[in-house]
Amino acid sequence: MNKERVRNVLLAAFTAMALSISSNAQIRSASGKLIVMSPQNLPDAAQVPGEDLFLYPNRDGGYYLYEEQQNGSRLLIFDVTDPSRIKLKATQQLAASGPFDFIDYLSDKTALVRYRNGKGAAILDLRDEKRPALHEVSALKDNGSTLIMDKPGASEVDQAERSARPARKEYEVIDTTSRDQPIVLAIVRQVEHQLQNEDTGTTFLLNREGLTIVRRIDVEQAFLAHQRQLTN
């Protein structure tokens, strides 16, 4: 093997290694105020394709993120209170008849879900935050609309709008703190579900590669400082 061939092979190997490292590393803005965490930066379970997301304020004053997987049969429970230390708290099997979408809270311990296969709706019981249970409700097994009352801004949810998988979108994470011009930090393609925690400034993006998280460090730090004040 001649020297030029060796050089090309080494360069290719180094490039592949660099790409591997960058794909596993967190992406930070120059200011340090934005961080993009890919599925590889999160617990292994977050690297599996999911169906939908639901954010729940837990009894400890923090937040759990529920991720539906495996056509509605599995629910992952992540503790996302501190986005720098995201933990998988539990994995729960559900007696679901198919993939579903989280619609809204019915109370502080229950949530309404709608099946995508036209089999109506069910109630997710959250009294045990780490072991949610799905209950079928015969009164909700219809193909019409559901009107959630006794809630601020009560709205109607049409079954037809929830019968198919949501349209996929492309999200660009842009750093606007650059002196010269905005910089695209990351592009997350074919996102099916997007969810935001306004308290921590965290955005959750779900696609076929798993869960991607965008962190706003200033908002996050302010929330955690407030949490510490409450516990002192």
pLDDT tens by residue, 133-153 = 999 877 665 555 555 555 444
Q: How does residue 25 score in pLDDT terms, banded at 50, 70 and 90? A: confident
d(CA 51, CA 39): 15
Instruction: Report the DSSP beta bridge partners of residue 92.
Output: 75
The SS3 of residue 53 is strand
The domain spans of the chain are: 27-230
Please tell me the chain's helix, strand, coil percentages from 3-state DSSP, rounded to the nearest 5: 25, 40, 35
- Burial class from Cβ neighbours inside 10 Å (0-12, 13-18, 19+) for residue 9 reads exposed
The mean pLDDT of 84-90, rounded to a whole number, is 96
What is the pTM (predicted TM-score) of this model?
0.80
Closest CA relative to residue 127, chosen from 54, 58, 76, 197: 58
Instruction: Report the DSSP beta bridge partners of residue 23.
Output: none
Q: Do the beta carbons of residue 64 and residue 58 sit within 8 Å?
A: yes
Q: Do the beta carbons of residue 227 and residue 79 sit within 8 Å?
A: no
Q: Do the beta carbons of residue 13 and residue 160 sit within 8 Å?
A: no
The mean pLDDT of 55-67, rounded to a whole number, is 95
